[in-house]
Amino acid sequence: MKNQLEMDIKVPNQTRYLGLIGKIGEDIAYTLKNYNNDRDELAYHINLVLTEAMANTIKHANSNDPCKDVHITINVSDENLCIKVYDQGQGFDISTTGTALPEPTDDHGRGIFLINTLMDSVTYKNCGNGNVLEMKKRLN
Amino acid sequence: MIVSIEEHGAVVTLSLQEERLDAHNSNELKSQLLNLFEEGKNKIIIDLADVRFIDSSGLGALVSGFKNASSRDGSLKLCSLQTQVKSMFELTRLHRVFEIFPNPEEALASF
């Protein structure tokens, strides 16, 4: 395996684990060998997309059921970051949840906008007993 | 959620003593703010000095408080944003919605 990080994580479907998963994302940014841009910014962005994707899964796809799991895989090479978040529910339509920024005074709807803004490609599709949200970002 | 509350006349300052304001604790902030509004307090400063991470739920809780304060002829202002937190307000254009001050003293003086 050449400079390749592969992580496979399962946590209960509960928001109390958001900080833990976000921290793992931040730490990944600081372990990259050949990243020449702002590392603090990258760390925040990975933390944020993991937090947004997981919170969305907990609330919407997994219907806040604390007995379900959220399954996350993170693959990092020198060139690319790929995060997959698996849910066990009905899913949601990423095209209708909006890639546009909501009205300034809306309370909701910024999560998917942030993921789309900070990542280079985002897909959401059916997969076995649930769905997978795949988010990719070039690192150089 | 750990919050310290200080009152200066009609102005209430909430200092969030949390590293993260996210989907796990943003509803608690909403509740704290609603309690203040129900007590008739509608001039609010939220001091974010300790918050180094905010997500869309955290932003949503602040927007909700902003709307509630405005509808009661009050206002909700922010201060002491860390660099990355401030950049989230810029990315979502919320820096055009909120009055944001570098420190609590300047926020207080603006009322």
Q: What is the tens place of the pLDDT at every residue in A59-76?
A: 888 888 889 999 999 999
Q: What is the mean pLDDT of chain B?
A: 97
Touching check for B66 and chain A: CB below 8 Å?
yes
CA distance readout (Å), A95 to A19, A40, B43: 27, 30, 39
Q: Which of A101, A111, A114 sits opposite B93 (nearest CB)?
A: A101
For A70-122, the pLDDT digits (tens) are 999 999 998 999 999 999 887 766 665 556 788 888 888 899 999 999 999 99
**In this predicted structure, what is the pLDDT of residue A26?**
97
Mean pLDDT, range A2-11, rounded to an integer: 90
**In this predicted structure, what is the pLDDT of residue A105?**
83
Strand pairing report for A5-12 and A69-76 = antiparallel
Write a three-state SS string for chain B: CCEEEEEECCEEEEEECCCEECCCCHHHHHHHHHHHHHCCCCEEEEECCCCCEECHHHHHHHHHHHHHHHHCCCEEEEECCCHHHHHHHHHCCHHHCCCEECCHHHHHHCC
Domains of chain B, earliest start first? 3-109 (3.30.750.24)
Would you call B24 and A111 a contact, using CB atoms and an 8 Å cutoff?
no
Domains of chain A, earliest start first? 5-138 (3.30.565.10)
**In this predicted structure, what is the pLDDT of residue A63?**
86
